[in-house]
Amino acid sequence: MKTALRPRWILMLILAMVIAAVFVLLSQWQFNSSREEPPPAPSSTEDVRPLTDVLQPLTPLYATTADQMVSLDGEFVPDTRVLVQDRLRDGDEGLWVVQAFAVDSAAAAEAADAPEDAVIPLVLGWVPEADNASSVPEQQGRASVVGRLLPPEAPVVQRPVEGQVPTLSTAELSNLWDAPMYSAFVVASDVTAGGSAVPLGADMERVVVGPQPQETPVNWLNIFYAVEWVVFAGFAFFLWWRLVADDHRRTLEDAADAAEEAQAGEIPTGTDAPVTPDSSGGLPFAGTSPTSQTPSPSESGAHRD
């Protein structure tokens, strides 16, 4: 505890708290981003609005304006009909019949820098086979259209089939038709020419697209990132605690080493044996004991003689 109260580790704790707070804010941002914006309510998308009030040429279509019922006036562009592959209707696979529709230039040019000859893909119907579309006459002339505005699809690379495309990609159709495009397409629910409805071909059926479901989608990848930032915040405190624990352990080891050195300094490293003087009061020769200096009786007698 005393180690953690040192000024150095208090400052490190404050730094860890600041870092953890930043990580928590990032986690909150990821949580908020995980719930995408819900689609517009059907009460607003089902009210028919002019296309030029909702979307302008060469501008992206956002989720807030997608799925809107729109009306548009213009004319069909001849020789632009294509079939979109892999379209389902009531569980049956078929193709969409799509044709370019040139929106009236007077209405489209309301926006600055908007091209006057912009076209938008118009989904006219669904056919079960490509041969059925050949019997349907291509639309021509002026018309008024009411339909649902939908975002374009991504292009798919595959072996080309004449008169067919794998997806309804406005980028691909712009190259195919050589014309500026709206970044969306319209699924026609009502086509009129001269005040009367344009009949569908005998082998073509109307494509029906309802409003989008109102469930708010959840992005699980953002939730994973949010949890990850919380883990990082906890790791900042764990790292601080580990550094304090290591410092405390080193302090204890240094104190133990100092105590051992002090104890070793109080004990003499070596002692000499005590020297005992002989009977004559003198000191014995070095390396001899006192008994070695006393003559034997025979030696004494010889000396007296």
Q: pLDDT digit string (tens) for 236-291?
A: 999 988 888 888 888 888 888 888 888 887 655 555 555 555 545 554 544 444 44
Would you say residue 295 lies in a domain? no
Q: What is the mean pLDDT of the chain?
A: 80
One domain for residues 29 and 89: no
Range name among 9-23, 59-73, 138-152, 197-211 with the lowest pLDDT average: 197-211
Q: Is residue 112's pLDDT more than 70?
A: no
One domain for residues 250 and 198: no
Q: pLDDT digit string (tens) for 224-233?
A: 888 998 999 9
Percent of the chain with pLDDT over 70: 78
Q: Final residue of a domain: which of 177, 211, 245?
A: 211
Would you say residue 293 lies in a domain? no
Q: Is residue 13's pLDDT more than 90?
A: no
Would you say residue 130 lies in a domain? yes
Q: Is residue 213's pLDDT more than 70?
A: no
| Number of domains into which the chain is organized | 2
One domain for residues 94 and 170: yes
pTM of the model: 0.58
The pLDDT assigned to 2 comes to: 76
One domain for residues 187 and 121: yes
One domain for residues 103 and 225: no
One domain for residues 91 and 226: no
Q: Is residue 115's pLDDT more than 70?
A: no
Would you say residue 289 lies in a domain? no
- pLDDT band at 40, cuts 50/70/90? low
What 3 state SS string does the chain have?
CCCCCCHHHHHHHHHHHHHHHHHHHHHHHHHHHHECCCCCCHHHHCCCEEHHHHCCCCCCCCCCCCCCEEEEEEEECCCCCEEEEEEEECCEEEEEEEEEEEECHHHHCCCCCCCCCCEEEEEEEEECCHHHHHCCCCCCEEEEEEEEEECCCCCCCCCCECCEECCCCHHHHHHHHCCCECCCEEEEEEEEECCEECCCCCCCECCCCCCCCCCCCECHHHHHHHHHHHHHHHHHHHHHHHHHHHHHHHHHHHHHHHHHHHHHHHCCCCCCCCCCCCCCCCCCCCCCCHHHHCCCHHHHHHHHC
Domain ranges, residue 15: 7-34+221-263
One domain for residues 140 and 64: yes
One domain for residues 29 and 46: no
Would you say residue 272 lies in a domain? no
